[in-house]
């Protein structure tokens, strides 16, 4: 008899969603859907507001990556203003975006993923959490907390608030960097290096235990997209986009914000509020692609900082061509943390970071503008239209998690076909299906602009749609 | 945040931490921050760190482990409006099974112990019963009137004297 399994809510994610697994008459999983079940409508209720309010308004979409929204939004506003921001403002934004990436990746790796990695996918769920990690591996627990605090404290020092700082504005930033704050940030760097090196060493020791998961967690050929700088290096804030194929071949290069929507379409499916972006040239679903740390490291030829470059060489040896297994998102996050610390150290060790010219001003000079930044989870795009007075008439956001939507669905199906057997769900099965999604570190609050935490449900359905089993965590 | 050296008396803890919790945009929920700001001004010169936060997080464990006394001040949604309660707390027996977006004080003490092998010798929660949690940055009249008593309770807790009023309501 065929059936449907529902996992609802999926745990240790940001947001709210559910997984539905359909089985055939042989009892094998035949299809899988990752559904995001909430919607907020930021694009709609911003209409009528002045464009310069957008960065602070849109950043409220997310409490984890508000800085990326601030930057993408400010860049869209600057396109409307037709201004180029001062070089020091660009450097400060770059540092702020990396600080956010560090704290977000630390949250993902240490708080959400490390319980599976360090304690095991089949460990007692009562212990399989960050507190269990803290108990079993206190040095790694301290490292995770330390890296998250480093990123958050740096955001607070620069933007005066840990979450939703108002420092990034259209035209640059509101205030130059105070030398005392620069010194304080630099004083945290040595410990941050120690913490991330500890995590990298621990990760490399445990990965061989997870070969089965590496093989079956969203491991398939497909496209990748990310920002890449002019010499092919890793970049998060100011550069064009590149799309590569599964063999590493460049399909599209130097895509800038103005032409983003000419190349990227957004499909919808009836089972989710989250959209399915795709590369128009290949159509949907063939043109769907992955973004985020794995995509960035697959696309960049080098990181441009010595320690991260050494790690990137090792990372690229995992495959002959792009690394296709999404389990390696975890590894990529740690390398990006290391790179972020190095770039912040470089930027803040240069006296030009204290330059007082940090904001350009202008009014409405165009009625349409778009901005792109790399959020921790991948490429983020804000696209606005305004009237003559600068009031918003239309907005569209293309969110990183949405761009991984098709890959997450394929990954859930792949893992479910590997692990879900028989008529009854076990916790180990449930956790592995959830863990596939965790590799992408989705932020469903961002992707549907949904409010609330993200528990998730798994539902098992018969071919006739009857619910046969359901597991729910809250 | 403030930290300054000062001579220590027998009653004065060496390192004090005040975690002022709440949301200043939700009416009386901002009373913790209001008290945190006032204490910071009043105890200038003491070895005191004031952390204003919307929620308790694992990242606070290290600061807690480094303190000799920690005081959490927050609004209570269950106490009668304007009631000031001082509750001694112990570290939790175990940590929560899931990580949500906040922690309770006992669990944070536990986490500080598990991660840093040290907890403050004295840990207190001071709460003020809230009346209104509407979208405003102002306190209700009832809670505003309770602020001096709450301030005194926090001062006493930080400086090691008995609180002037105690109650057993949960936070």
pLDDT digits (tens, 9 = 90+) for A216-249: 999 999 999 999 999 999 999 999 999 999 999 9
User: Residues near A34 by Cβ (< 8 Å), separated by ≥ 6?
Assistant: A17, A18, A19, A272, A405, A408, A409, A412, A437
Nearest to A312 by CA among A321, A320, A301: A301
Residue A361, number of CB atoms within 10 A of its CB: 10
pLDDT digits (tens, 9 = 90+) for A142-164: 999 999 999 999 999 998 877 78
Q: Which residue has the higher pLDDT, B26 or A61?
A: B26
Nearest to B76 by CA among B39, B42, B104, B111: B104
Give the separation between CA A205 and CA B94, rounded to whole angstroms.
Answer: 29
Using a 10 angstrom Cβ sphere, with 0-12 exposed, 13-18 middle and 19 or more buried, the burial of residue A201 is exposed
Percent of chain A with pLDDT over 90: 67
Give the separation between CA A291 and CA A224, rounded to whole angstroms.
Answer: 6
Confidence category of residue A386, pLDDT binned at 50, 70, 90 = very high
pLDDT, residue A9, reads 59
Residues A98 and A121: beta-carbon distance below 8 Å: no
A455, closest residue in chain B (CA to CA): B100
pLDDT, residue B8, reads 45
pTM score of the predicted model: 0.87
Domain limits of chain B?
16-159
Cα-based distances in Å from A6 to A20, A290, A439, A455, A466: 4, 25, 20, 13, 11
Give the separation between CA A196 and CA A145, rounded to whole angstroms.
Answer: 11
Give the position of tokens 């009631």.
B83
Domains of chain A: 4-212+349-472 (1.10.645.10), 221-341 (no CATH)
Residue A41, number of CB atoms within 10 A of its CB: 10
Residues B134 and B55: beta-carbon distance below 8 Å: no
pLDDT, residue A369, reads 97
Q: What mean pLDDT, rounded, does chain A reach? A: 89
CB contact under 8 Å between B98 and A141, yes or no, is no
The whole-number average pLDDT for the span A106-115 is 90
Nearest to A271 by CA among A6, A473, A58: A6
Q: Which two tokens stand for residue A275?
A: 């959209």
pLDDT, residue A8, reads 65
Among A225-234, A368-377, B65-74, B159-168, the least confident range: B159-168
Count A/B contacts: CB-CB distance under 8 Å.
Answer: 48
Residue B91 has pLDDT above 60, yes or no: yes
Give the separation between CA A438 and CA A12, rounded to whole angstroms.
Answer: 7
B93 SS3 class: coil
Give the separation between CA B66 and CA A303, rounded to whole angstroms.
Answer: 37
Tell me the sheet residues that pair with A379: A374
Give me the interface pTM, i.e. the ipTM.
Answer: 0.73
Nearest by CB: A148 against B59, B98, B115: B59
Is B59 at the interface with chain A, CB within 8 A? yes
Is B101 at the interface with chain A, CB within 8 A? yes
Nearest by CB: A130 against B58, B62, B116: B58
Give the separation between CA B67 and CA B79, rounded to whole angstroms.
Answer: 28
H or E stretch covering A8: strand A4-13
Residues A303 and A341: beta-carbon distance below 8 Å: no
Pairing of strands B16-21, B48-53: parallel
Among A9-23, A268-282, A325-339, the least confident range: A9-23
pLDDT digits (tens, 9 = 90+) for A253-266: 999 999 999 999 99
pLDDT digits (tens, 9 = 90+) for A395-442: 999 989 889 999 999 998 998 888 877 666 777 777 888 888 889 988
CB contact under 8 Å between A145 and B101, yes or no, is no
User: Residues near B160 by Cβ (< 8 Å), separated by ≥ 6?
Assistant: B11, B12, B13, B69, B122
pLDDT, residue A268, reads 87
Q: Which two tokens stand for residue A115?
A: 């319980």
pLDDT, residue B7, reads 40
Among A111-125, B1-15, B45-59, B152-166, the least confident range: B1-15
Confidence category of residue B167, pLDDT binned at 50, 70, 90 = very low
pLDDT digits (tens, 9 = 90+) for A117-142: 999 888 887 778 888 888 899 999 99
The whole-number average pLDDT for the span A182-209 is 96
pLDDT, residue A451, reads 33
Among A265-279, A332-346, A364-378, the least confident range: A265-279
B168 SS3 class: coil
User: Residues near A117 by Cβ (< 8 Å), separated by ≥ 6?
Assistant: A203, A206, A210, A330
CB contact under 8 Å between B62 and A134, yes or no, is no
Nearest by CB: B115 against A11, A129, A138: A138
Residue A456 has pLDDT above 70, yes or no: no
Residue B1 has pLDDT above 60, yes or no: no
Confidence category of residue A284, pLDDT binned at 50, 70, 90 = very high
Q: What is the CATH number of domain B16-159?
A: 3.40.50.1450
């Amino acid at each position: 008899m065929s059936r449907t399994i529902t996992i609802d809510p999926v745990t240790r994610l940001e947001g709210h969603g559910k997984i539905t697994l359909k089985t055939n008459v042989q009892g094998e999983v035949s299809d899988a859907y990752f559904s995001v079940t909430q919607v907020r409508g930021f694009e709609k209720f911003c209409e009528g507001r002045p464009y310069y309010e957008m960065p602070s308004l849109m950043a409220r979409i997310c409490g984890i990556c508000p800085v990326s929204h601030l930057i993408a939004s400010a860049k869209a506003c600057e396109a409307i203003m037709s201004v180029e921001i001062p070089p020091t403002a660009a450097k400060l934004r770059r540092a702020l975006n990396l600080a956010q990436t560090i704290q977000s990746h630390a949250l993902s790796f240490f708080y959400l993923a490390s319980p599976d990695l360090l304690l095991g996918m089949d460990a007692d769920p009562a212990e399989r959490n960050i507190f269990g990690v803290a108990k079993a591996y206190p040095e790694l627990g301290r490292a995770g907390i330390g890296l998250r605090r480093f990123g958050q404290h740096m955001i607070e020092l620069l933007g005066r608030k840990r979450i939703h700082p108002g420092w990034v504005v259209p035209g640059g930033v509101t205030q130059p960097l105070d030398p005392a704050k620069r010194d304080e940030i630099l004083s945290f760097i040595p410990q941050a290096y120690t913490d991330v090196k500890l995590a990298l060493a621990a990760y490399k020791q445990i990965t061989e235990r997870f070969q089965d998961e590496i093989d079956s967690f969203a491991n398939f050929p497909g496209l990748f997209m990310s920002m890449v700088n002019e010499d092919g290096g890793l970049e998060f804030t100011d550069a064009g986009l590149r799309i590569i194929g599964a063999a590493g071949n460049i399909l599209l290069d130097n895509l800038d914000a103005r032409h983003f929507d000419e190349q990227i379409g957004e499909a919808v499916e009836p089972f989710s509020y989250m959209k399915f972006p795709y590369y128009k040239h290949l159509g949907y679903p063939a043109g769907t692609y992955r973004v985020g740390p794995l995509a960035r490291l697959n696309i960049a030829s080098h990181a441009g900082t010595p320690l991260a470059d050494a790690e990137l060489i090792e990372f690229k040896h995992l495959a002959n061509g792009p690394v296709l297994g999404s389990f390696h998102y975890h590894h990529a996050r740690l390398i990006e943390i290391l790179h972020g610390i190095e770039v912040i150290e470089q930027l803040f060790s240069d006296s030009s970071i204290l330059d007082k010219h940090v904001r350009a001003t202008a009014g409405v000079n165009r009625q349409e503008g778009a901005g792109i930044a790399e959020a921790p989870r991948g490429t983020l795009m804000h696209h606005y239209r305004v009237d003559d007075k600068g009031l918003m008439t239309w907005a569209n956001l293309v969110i990183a998690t949405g761009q991984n939507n098709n890959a997450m669905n394929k990954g859930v199906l792949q893992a479910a076909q590997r692990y879900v057997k028989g008529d009854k769900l076990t916790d180990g099965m449930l956790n592995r299906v959830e863990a596939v999604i965790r590799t992408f570190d989705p932020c469903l609050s961002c992707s549907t602009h949904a409010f609330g935490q993200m528990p998730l449900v798994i539902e098992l359905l018969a071919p006739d749609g009857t619910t046969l089993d359901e597991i729910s965590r809250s | 945040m403030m930290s300054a050296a000062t001579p220590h008396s027998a009653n004065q803890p060496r390192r004090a931490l005040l975690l002022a919790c709440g949301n200043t945009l939700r009416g009386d929920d901002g009373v913790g921050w209001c008290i945190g700001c006032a204490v910071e001004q009043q105890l200038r010169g003491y070895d005191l760190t004031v952390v204003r936060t919307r929620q308790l997080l694992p990242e606070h464990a290290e600061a807690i482990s480094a303190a000799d006394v920690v005081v959490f001040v927050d609004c209570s949604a269950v106490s009668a409006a304007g009631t000031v309660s001082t509750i001694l707390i112990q570290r939790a027996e175990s940590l929560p099974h899931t990580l949500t977006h906040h922690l309770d004080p006992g669990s944070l003490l536990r986490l500080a112990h598990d991660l840093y092998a040290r907890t403050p010798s004295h840990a207190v929660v001071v709460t003020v019963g809230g009346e209104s949690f509407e979208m405003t940055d102002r306190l209700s009249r009832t809670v505003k009137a309770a602020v001096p008593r709450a301030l005194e309770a926090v001062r006493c807790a930080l400086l090691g004297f008995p609180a002037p009023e105690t109650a057993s309501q949960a936070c």
